[in-house]
């Protein structure tokens, strides 16, 4: 006879690699199909623009944290928190096509500010349901704040 507790826990933990695969895979697909290219290279950039090689490793690490947070949120069952997590993923994946493919710096700035607001909402809402989610979102919040500042500077300079 099978122990349902172990089976339930096993299934629960099987979702973690799925979350990681979906978030990193989605981010990789968005990144591969919306590359900076010559248009971005030709923009006037502020002095605090990071080197291009930094984005891949940073986003990979952040996507792992976002996936773990998403997995924890799905386990907690808070439907509002689930909706907020999904909304931040949608805004996250929307930014690159608007910025790099459509070359709409101003609209990209609006999207990234909305993303920041939703990241804060996830962290705030999660502080009682699962405090670890709030901590997992802290590096994400810091990086997206920096990216929003960079986006704003690019709007200003171009």
Beta-strand runs (E) in 6-145 = none
Long-range contacts of 134-137 (CB under 8 A, 24+ apart): 136/65, 136/66, 136/68, 136/69, 136/72, 137/65, 137/66, 137/69
* pLDDT per position as a tens digit, 51-110: 999 999 999 999 999 999 999 999 988 999 999 999 999 999 999 999 999 999 999 999
CB atoms within 10 A of CB 118: 20
Residue range 4-157, CATH number: 1.20.1260.100
CA distance 122 to 144: 14
Tokens standing for residue 142: 């810091």
DSSP 61-78: HHHHHHHHHHHHHHHHT-
User: Does residue 6 have a pLDDT over 80?
Assistant: no
Average pLDDT value for residue range 108-135:
96
CA-nearest of 66, 69, 79, 45 to 144 is: 66
pLDDT score for 14: 83
* pLDDT per position as a tens digit, 23-52: 999 999 999 999 999 999 999 999 999 999
Tell me the pLDDT band of 13, cut-offs 50, 70 and 90: confident
Cα dihedral across residues 63, 84, 137, 132: positive or negative: negative
51: which residues sit within 8 A by CB, 6+ positions away? Answer: none
Counting runs of H as helices and runs of E as strands, what totals does the chain give?
Answer: 6, 0
């Amino acid at each position: 006879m099978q122990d349902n507790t172990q089976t339930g826990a096993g299934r629960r933990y099987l979702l973690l690699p799925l979350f990681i695969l979906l978030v990193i895979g989605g981010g990789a697909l968005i990144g591969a199909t919306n590359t900076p290219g010559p248009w971005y290279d030709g923009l006037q950039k502020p002095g605090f623009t990071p080197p291009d090689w930094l984005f891949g490793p940073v986003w990979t690490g952040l996507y792992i944290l976002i996936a773990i947070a998403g997995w924890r949120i799905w386990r907690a069952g808070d439907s509002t928190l689930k909706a907020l997590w999904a909304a931040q993923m949608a805004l996250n994946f929307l930014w690159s096509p608007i910025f790099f493919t459509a070359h709409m710096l101003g609209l990209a700035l609006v999207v990234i500010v909305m993303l920041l607001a939703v990241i804060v909402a996830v962290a705030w809402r999660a502080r009682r349901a699962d405090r670890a989610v709030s901590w997992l979102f802290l590096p994400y919040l810091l990086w997206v704040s920096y990216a929003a500042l960079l986006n704003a500077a690019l709007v200003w300079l171009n």
